[in-house]
Structure 1
Amino acid sequence: MIERMEIGQRMSKIVKHNGTVYLCGQVGAGDTVTEQTQDCLARVDALLQQAGSSREQILQAIIWLSDMKDFAEMNAVWDAWVPEGHAPARACGEAKLARDVLKVEVIVTAAYD
């Protein structure tokens, strides 16, 4: 069975299937990469909780940066957020994001109970 949550016309924020939860890409508010990363990871936390999961259960993360020069700044926030011993498989690349003010987008796949 597929369960969709926070369903919109274009996408669902959460899709659950067979023990796996898929989140739509999350972006954050703020002027800096640090602020945007902190905000989007807080949004990931909230969606994971809503789906019955947590950051300890993240299987994979895909991170898009609008400019790879921000890699170290984003990683400083990411490294503090990921629970020790629970680092997921991860990819990070550069992409043109949906709005010019966006600097980071995080896409997460996790297990749930």
Structure 2
Amino acid sequence: MKTNTTENKSKNGPHLSPWMEHNGVLYLSGQIGMNKVTKEIPEGIEAQTKLVLQNIENTLKEAGSTKNHILRNDIFLSDIAHWEMVNEIYSNFFGEFKSARMVVGNTEMYGGCLIEITTTATTVE
């Protein structure tokens, strides 16, 4: 089993690994609309969704995979009314590629984020 433990080494950071790999399957921790360097959370569902998807793509690359190897995304929205906008951005980001997906309304999320996505993918062979 491989894991990334380079992030979150501070005592104040969350107790997690950004990703873990087991038998060729990658499990990403939930990605939120927060800039990983500045810790800023942009305003609005559009900006946060784009940032979450970019965070997923960057984490997959670090773990040796790509967005076209995603098996499933679980999407949590602070307001299910955001679904139409999220689906449009999501569709543009993935193009013709379609993974399995789940969407859940969730009223409160970390730091006031409007969206969080957890991802399961395979490694690139």
Equivalent position of 2:53 in the other structure: 41
Give the C-alpha shift of residue 12 in structure 1: 0.3
- In structure 2, give the amino acid aligned to 1:92: V
Give the C-alpha shift of residue 47 in structure 1: 0.4
Equivalent position of 2:4 in the other structure: 5
Equivalent residue runs for 1:13-28 within 5 Å: 13-28=18-33
Q: Which has the higher strand share?
A: 1
Equivalent position of 1:73 in the other structure: 85
Give the C-alpha shift of residue 83 in structure 1: 3.3
Helix, strand or coil at the partner of 2:85: helix
1:83 to 95, 103, 117: 95
Uncovered stretches (5+) of structure 2, i.e. residues with no partner: 9-13, 34-40
1:98 is the counterpart of 2:110: yes
Give the C-alpha shift of residue 30 in structure 1: 1.3
State the Cα deviation string for residues 16-38 of structure 1 (Å, max 9, x = none): 11010111000113111000000
- Paired with 1:22 and 1:83, the residues of 2 have a C-alpha distance of 22
- In structure 1, give the amino acid aligned to 2:121: A
- Paired with 2:110 and 2:82, the residues of 1 have a C-alpha distance of 17
Equivalent position of 2:42 in the other structure: 30
Asked if 2 retains the 8 angstrom alpha-carbon contact of 1:55 and 1:83, the reply is no
Q: CA RMSD in A?
A: 1.2
- Paired with 1:17 and 1:5, the residues of 2 have a C-alpha distance of 12
Aligned residues: 110
Uncovered stretches (5+) of structure 1, i.e. residues with no partner: none
Give the C-alpha shift of residue 97 in structure 1: 1.0
